[in-house]
């Protein structure tokens, strides 16, 4: 069992990236991992834009990150890179906040021209934060994300296997990391959501 932090880097209220991240969280929870979720959208803009690492919400994220064995970072591609909101958050984390953690980078984007945004834009930032074990990531074209009746998304069959294999790789890397004994995520596959409010739902992660 690992303690994990899932980070949604989309500022959108109808984020497809966040919906993909929820699929990953469900999978990780089903494997018995304890997953916390933070979305940049829930964080106070003044703290992000004013670079205030001491704001309680930002400090809470830093604590969750410090406690995590692994981190899933999911971002939309904006202007050929990760989102500015994600960068604002990462800028406020301690310098080597990702040292010793397994990191899974994910992106959604609107054009295959930017399929390498994870490698050229995000990976150098992760490396600068001390990440020494960044597993293979995945870029999902947004037209391969199909809306579902419950408000989520379904990944197109044409890439589903490849995406699942990337998540499998993350799970395998976690298994080979020194395991920590932690309580598991509830069996309904929800994640504990940090920072803003407490909400419990079987359809979406809970917030703390
Ligand atoms: C401001 C903005 C800039 C974008 N720039 C790019 C881009 O440079 N390359 C790309 O592939 N997609 C780009 N997109 C498309 C988004 O990456 C894509 O629709 C993504 O799935 C949106 O994720 P979200 O719903 O989580 O925000 C852009 C979208 C927005 C809103």
Tally of structural domains, the chain: 1
- How far is it, in rounded angstroms, from Cα 125 to Cα 82? 10
For residues 54-72, give the mean pLDDT: 97
- How far is it, in rounded angstroms, from Cα 185 to Cα 96? 26
- Which of 89, 78, 72, 86 lies closest to 35, judged by CA? 72
188: CA distance to ligand 1 center in Å? 30
* pLDDT, position 204: 42
pLDDT tens digit sequence for 78-94: 999 999 999 999 999 99
* pLDDT, position 177: 85
For residues 54-83, give the mean pLDDT: 98
What tokens were used for 101?
């953690």
- How far is it, in rounded angstroms, from Cα 169 to Cα 150? 28
* pLDDT, position 197: 28
* pLDDT, position 193: 63
pLDDT tens digit sequence for 161-205: 999 999 999 999 999 986 444 444 454 556 666 653 222 223 344
Domain residue limits at 201: 3-207
Q: Is 40 in the pocket of ligand 1 (CB under 6 A)?
A: no
| Residues 128, 130, 132: CA angle, nearest 5 degrees | 115
* pLDDT, position 188: 57
Q: Best mutation site among 42, 78, 81 for ligand 1, i.e. most ligand atoms within 8 A of its Cβ?
A: 78
Model-level pTM? 0.89
Question: Which CATH number characterizes residue 91's domain?
Answer: 3.40.50.360
């Amino acid at each position: 069992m690992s303690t994990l932090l899932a980070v949604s880097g989309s500022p959108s209220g109808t984020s497809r990236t966040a919906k993909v991240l929820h699929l990953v969280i469900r999978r990780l929870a089903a494997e018995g991992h304890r997953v916390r979720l933070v979305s940049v959208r829930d964080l106070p803009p003044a703290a992000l834009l004013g670079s205030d690492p001491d704001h309680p919400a930002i400090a809470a994220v830093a604590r969750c990150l410090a406690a995590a064995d692994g981190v899933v970072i999911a971002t939309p591609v904006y202007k050929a890179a990760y989102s500015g909101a994600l960068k604002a958050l990462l800028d406020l984390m301690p310098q080597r906040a990702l040292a010793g953690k397994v990191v899974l980078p994910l992106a959604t984007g609107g054009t295959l021209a930017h399929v390498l945004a994870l490698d050229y834009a995000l990976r150098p930032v992760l490396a600068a934060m001390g990440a020494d074990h960044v597993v293979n990531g995945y870029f999902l074209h947004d037209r391969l994300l199909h809306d579902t009746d419950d408000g989520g998304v379904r990944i197109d069959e044409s890439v589903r296997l490849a995406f699942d294999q990337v998540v499998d790789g993350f799970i395998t890397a976690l298994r080979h990391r020194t395991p920590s004994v932690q309580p598991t995520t509830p069996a309904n596959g929800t994640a504990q959501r940090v920072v803003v409010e407490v909400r419990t739902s079987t359809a979406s992660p809970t917030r703390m």
